[in-house]
């Protein structure tokens, strides 16, 4: 799968690109089912909100076949290799939940700022890919992006260890206000199966979810193989240290898995 020239230009200028309904309902249904099963497990890779609701499940591609296939899917891998001009490896993989009624916020931040400070990543040549497992509305904890903020470089940040259950390098209100005044705000929404790409330096965050509508999104970070992390401080299942390039699976691999899954359940 290749991006058009117009799509590449939008990404370079705005720092983000949304591809609606890239994965089929059948593919998403099996991922959704297995995500719920993963959240029930007691593993160190699964972080929970202070309320006990699931917040994120790290490294699911290493212990779940369906998410392993997704992590090698050409609809995700090929556009990133096109933008970077080289092979990529998996730096981070997580399934983020915004539980209905109790999903907590993600503060304003840049992901590359975290990768640089905590993992020793040399350059912002890693890409965020977000795959919607539920329909994302403006009101159920959708991701908010500040367009063109990726052109500001790495911004000063404080290590917030108290606001939520997950420590994060966050931006202050004055910085976010300045960036908003310059670039505005976009909130990509859409049906399950959509895929969002956004630059590692793009400033983003999300509000809590007090609606009856859950919001699960798979977040994968693909890093250029030449840009492998140099000084990791986090556990390997948070910042992976297998720098081998990903070999994409067949385009129908997830669909075939979904059909085997359905047949086994019948």
Q: Per-residue pLDDT tens for 126-171?
A: 999 999 999 999 999 999 999 999 999 889 878 766 565 566 778 8
Q: Please report the pLDDT score of residue 84 as a whole number.
A: 96
Q: Please report the pLDDT score of residue 165 as a whole number.
A: 52
CATH of the domain at 190: 2.60.120.620
Contact 164, 105 (CB under 8 A): yes
Q: Please report the pLDDT score of residue 55 as a whole number.
A: 85
Q: Please report the pLDDT score of residue 164 as a whole number.
A: 54
Q: Please report the pLDDT score of residue 102 as a whole number.
A: 77
Q: Please report the pLDDT score of residue 166 as a whole number.
A: 63
* Domain encompassing residue 128: 5-265
The model carries a pTM of 0.91
Burial code (b: 16+ CB inside 10 Å, e: under 16) for 132-165 equals bbbebeeebbbbbbbbbbbebeebebeeeeeebb
Q: Give the number of domains in the chain.
A: 1
d(CA 213, CA 100): 5
Beta bridge partners of 57: 46, 95
Q: Please report the pLDDT score of residue 263 as a whole number.
A: 83
d(CA 132, CA 19): 11
**84: number of Cβ within 10 Å:** 18
Beta bridge partners of 4: none
d(CA 124, CA 221): 11
Residues of the chain with pLDDT under 50: none
Q: Which among 31, 87, 83 has a CA at the least distance from the CA of 61?
A: 31
Number of H helices, E strands in the chain: 7, 12
């Amino acid at each position: 799968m290749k991006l058009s020239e117009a799509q590449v230009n939008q990404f370079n200028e705005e720092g983000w690109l949304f591809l609606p309904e890239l994965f089929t309902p059948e593919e998403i249904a099996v991922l959704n089912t297995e995500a719920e099963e993963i959240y029930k497990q007691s593993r160190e890779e699964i972080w929970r909100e202070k309320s006990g609701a699931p917040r994120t499940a790290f490294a699911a591609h290493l212990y779940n076949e369906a998410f392993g296939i997704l992590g090698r899917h050409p609809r995700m891998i090929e556009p990133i290799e096109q933008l970077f001009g080289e092979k990529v490896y998996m730096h981070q993989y997580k399934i983020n939940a915004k539980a209905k009624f109790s999903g907590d916020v993600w503060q304003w931040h840049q992901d590359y700022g975290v990768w640089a400070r905590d993992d020793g990543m040399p350059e912002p040549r890693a890409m965020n890919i977000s795959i919607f497992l539920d329909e994302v509305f403006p009101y159920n904890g959708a991701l908010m992006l500040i367009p063109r903020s990726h052109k500001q470089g790495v911004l000063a940040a404080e290590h917030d260890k108290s606001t939520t259950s997950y420590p994060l390098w966050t931006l202050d209100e004055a910085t976010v206000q300045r960036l908003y005044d310059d670039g505005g705000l976009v909130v990509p929404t859409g049906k399950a199966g959509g895929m969002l790409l956004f630059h590692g330096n793009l400033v983003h965050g999300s509000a809590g979810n007090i609606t009856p509508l859950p919001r699960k999104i798979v977040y994968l970070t693909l890093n250029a193989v030449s840009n492998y992390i140099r000084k990791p401080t986090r556990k390997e299942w948070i910042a992976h240290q297998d720098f081998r390039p990903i070999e994409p699976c067949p385009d129908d691999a997830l669909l075939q898995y979904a059909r085997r899954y359905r047949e086994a359940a019948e």
